[in-house]
Amino acid sequence: MTHAVPCVELRNVSLIYASDGKAVHALENVSFSVPQGAFVAIAGPSGCGKTTILRLVSGLMPATRGQVLIDGQVVRGPQKKVGMAFQNASLLPWRTALQNVLLPLEVVQPHRAQFRARRKEYEEEAHRLLRIVGLDGFADKPPYQLSGGMQQRVALCRALVHQPEILLLDEPFAALDAFTREELWGVLQDLWTARRCTVLMVTHDLREAVFLADRVIVMSRRPGTVISDVSINLPRPRTLADTFSPQFVDYVHTLYDCIGAARNGSTS
Amino acid sequence: MSQELRYRLSVIAPPVVAIALFFLVWELGCWALRVDEFVLPRPSVALAAYLKWQHAIWPNALQTLMTTIVGLAIAIALGVVLGALIGYSALMYRALYPVLIAFNSIPKAALVPVFVIWFGVGTLPAILIAFLISFFPIAVNVATGIATVEPELRDVLRSLGASQFDIFRKVGFPRAAPYFFASLKVAATLAFVGSVIAELGAANSGIGNLMVIASARFEVSLVFAGLMVVAAMGIALYAVFAALERRLVAWAYRSR
Ligand SMILES: Nc1ncnc2c1ncn2[C@@H]1O[C@H](COP(=O)(O)OP(=O)(O)OP(=O)(O)O)[C@@H](O)[C@H]1O
Ligand SMILES: [Mg+2]
C-alpha cells in the first residue's frame, strides 16, 4: 500500500482558550488523520471541543500546541479549498437565501474573477443546491423569514457552492425534524459520492454518523481527546432501510456505549 | 386599495395633526394672553410675514440649504472614514476617541468668530460649522456599527480566506449601514443648526443672516417666518434620509 499524504491531519493538537483572563482547556493531545475523499464523523459530549476542531482545521485560529496539516502542509490561516457550515447558520441578515449561497463565489478565486460574467450560471447552481435541500421557492427570502432548520440548510448550500475539496460540517442537521433530516442524509451522501470531497462532520446523532461516515471519532469530555475511532464497514450507497439492519444497529450501540463511557469517565 | 389608503393616512395624519395642534395652541395662547407681537408673534402673523417676504426668504433659504448639504456631505465622507477606522482598530479607538469627545465638547458657536478671522465673512464658516456639528454622531455611529459586527459573521468571511477589505465590504459596511442612517437623520438636523448659527454672524446671506437683519429692523414676525422655513427644510431633509433608510436597510426593521 502506498502511504498517501492524508488530506487532513491533526498531530498532538491542544487548544486552550484564554478569554477574560480565564483559561479553558478545550482540546488535549488530539491526533487523527483523514485520507483524501473520506467521510469522517466526530461525536462526543457537548462542550468537548468538536467545534473547536473544525475551527482549527478551517484555519480560523491556531492550535496552542501541536500541528494541523492539510495535504501535508501546516495550516497557517483560512484556505479557499475549505467550505464550512457553522453550527449556528450565521447567514448574513441583509442577504436573501440565494445571495447568502452565492457569497463564497464572490470571494473565492477563480469564481470571484468570473462572478460578473458567469452570474446567471452561478445563480442556477445556487438554485439547484437550494432545490435539493428542499428550499425550492425560498431563494428570495431573507434569513429572518426562514426557520432555524431552513437557515441551516441554506448554510449547507453556502458551504458547498464553491465545490470545496474539504467540507467541514458542524451539526448541519441538528435543527431538523427526523424525516427531513433522514432525507438530507441521502442528499449529502449523493453529493459526496458525486464530488468525492473530504468531509469532517460533527454530529450528536449516532445514527446519522453511522449512516454517513466511513469512520466515527468519539471524543472524551473536556478537555477533549480521541477515545475511540470506529470504522463503519457498511456497503454504500446506504439506504434508510439499512438503518434497521443488525450491523447498523450494532454500530450505533457500540458508539452509544463509547459516548456513555466518555460522559461518565473522569477527565484526568 | 382602501386599506393601502388607510395605512398611508395612519402614517401621515398623526404628525400633521400634532403640528396643527401645536400651532393652534400657540395661536390661541398668544391671543388669550395678549402677547405682544414684538415679543412672540402668532403663527398666523408669521405666516403673513412669510407670504409678504417670500421672494426675499427663498434665495436665503436655498443658500442655507446648500450650505447645510455641503457641510453634511463633508461630515459624511470624513465621518464614515474615521468611524470605520475607529470601529476596526482598538488602537485607533483608544487613541482618537478622547480627541473626538474633546472636539465635540467645544461649543461650535464659539468657533464662528475664529473662523471669521481665518476665512472672513461668507459661506465657508457656515459650511465648516455645519460640518463640525454633524460629524460626531456619524463617526460614532459608524464606529459602533463596525465594532459590533458579530464575530460569527466575520468568521464566515474569514473561513473563505477573505481579505480585510472584503470583510469590510461584505460584512462591516452593510452591518454599519443601519447605524449610519440612524445617525444621518440626527446629523441632518444638526447641520441646519450649524449653518444658521454661523450665518447669524458670519455671512452675507442665508436664513441666519436674514433673521439678524429682520431683528435689527424689529420685524420679529419675519424672524419667526425664517425659523419656520428652517424647521420645514429640516423635516424635508429628514424625510429624504428616512425614505432612503427604509429602502436601503429594510432588513434591520424587519418586525415592523
Ligand atoms: N471563544 C471561546 N472562548 C472561551 N472558551 C471557549 C470559546 N469557544 C469555546 N470555548 C469552550 O471550549 C470548549 C469546547 O467548545 P466547543 O464549541 O468546541 O464545543 P463542542 O464540542 O462543539 O460543543 P457542542 O456539542 O455543544 O457544540 C467549551 O467548554 C467552551 O466553553
Ligand atoms: Mg459545537
- Position A248 scores a pLDDT of 85
Cα A63 to chain centroid distance, Å, stands at: 19
Q: Which residue in B150, B161, B174 is closest to A79 by CB distance?
A: B161
Task: Render pLDDT for B5-60 as a digit per residue (tens, 0 to 9).
Answer: 888 888 888 989 999 999 999 999 988 988 888 888 898 989 999 999 889 899 99
Q: Do B191 and B134 touch, CB atoms closer than 8 A? A: yes
Residue B35 in domain: no
Element (H, E) at A53: helix A50-57
Which domains are seen in chain A, by residue range? 1-78+184-268 (3.40.50.300), 82-164 (3.40.50.300)
Residue B230 in domain: yes
Residues B254, A142: C-beta atoms closer than 8 Å: yes
Residue B242 in domain: yes
Residue B18 in domain: no
Angle at Cα A116 formed by Cα B176 and Cα A122, nearest 5°? 95
Mean pLDDT of chain B: 89
Task: Render pLDDT for A135-169 as a digit per residue (tens, 0 to 9).
Answer: 888 988 899 888 888 898 899 999 999 888 899 99
- Position A233 scores a pLDDT of 86
- Position B93 scores a pLDDT of 86
Task: Render pLDDT for B223-243 as a digit per residue (tens, 0 to 9).
Answer: 999 999 999 999 999 999 988
- Position A2 scores a pLDDT of 52
* Strand, helix or coil for residue A133: coil
**Beta sheet of A22-34, edge-to-edge order:** A22-34, A8-19, A65-70, A73-74
Q: Do A158 and A101 touch, CB atoms closer than 8 A? A: yes
**What pLDDT band is residue A88 in, cutting at 50, 70 and 90?**
confident
Chain B positions touching A79 (Cβ under 8 A) are: 161
Is A225 a pocket residue for ligand 1 (Cβ < 6 Å)? no
Cα–Cα distance between B233 and B239 in angstroms, integer? 10
Residues B161, A107: C-beta atoms closer than 8 Å: yes
Residues B159, A82: C-beta atoms closer than 8 Å: yes
- Position B256 scores a pLDDT of 46
ipTM: 0.83
Is A265 a pocket residue for ligand 1 (Cβ < 6 Å)? no
* Chain position carrying cell 500546541: A65
Percent of chain B scoring above 70 in pLDDT: 98
Closest chain B residue by Cα to residue A145:
B254
* Domain housing B207: 53-252
* Strand, helix or coil for residue A44: coil
Q: For ligand 1, atom 25, which residue shows the shortest CA distance?
A: A46
Residue B179 in domain: yes
CATH code for the domain in which residue B237 is found: 1.10.3720.10
- Position A18 scores a pLDDT of 86
* Strand, helix or coil for residue B201: helix
Min Cα distance B8 → chain A (Å) is 25
Residue B31 in domain: no
Is A17 a pocket residue for ligand 1 (Cβ < 6 Å)? yes
Chain A positions touching B252 (Cβ under 8 A) are: 93-94
- Position A238 scores a pLDDT of 87
Which of A24, A25, A208 to probe ligand 1 with, by most ligand atoms within 8 A of CB?
A: A24
pLDDT (average), residues B94-115: 88
Task: Render pLDDT for A225-248 as a digit per residue (tens, 0 to 9).
Answer: 888 888 888 888 888 888 898 988
Residue B14 in domain: no
Cα–Cα distances in Å, from B130 out to A60, A202, B106, B109, B170? 44, 56, 14, 11, 31
Quote the radius of gyration of chain B (alpha carbons, Å). 22
Q: Which residue in B152, B161, B251 is closest to A94 by CB distance?
A: B251
Q: How many domains does chain B have?
A: 1
- Position A98 scores a pLDDT of 93
Percent of chain B scoring above 90 in pLDDT: 43
Preceding peptide of B59 cis, ω within 30°: no
Higher local confidence (pLDDT), A268 or A122? A122
pLDDT exceeds 90 at position A134: no
pLDDT (average), residues A119-130: 89
Residues B160, A59: C-beta atoms closer than 8 Å: no
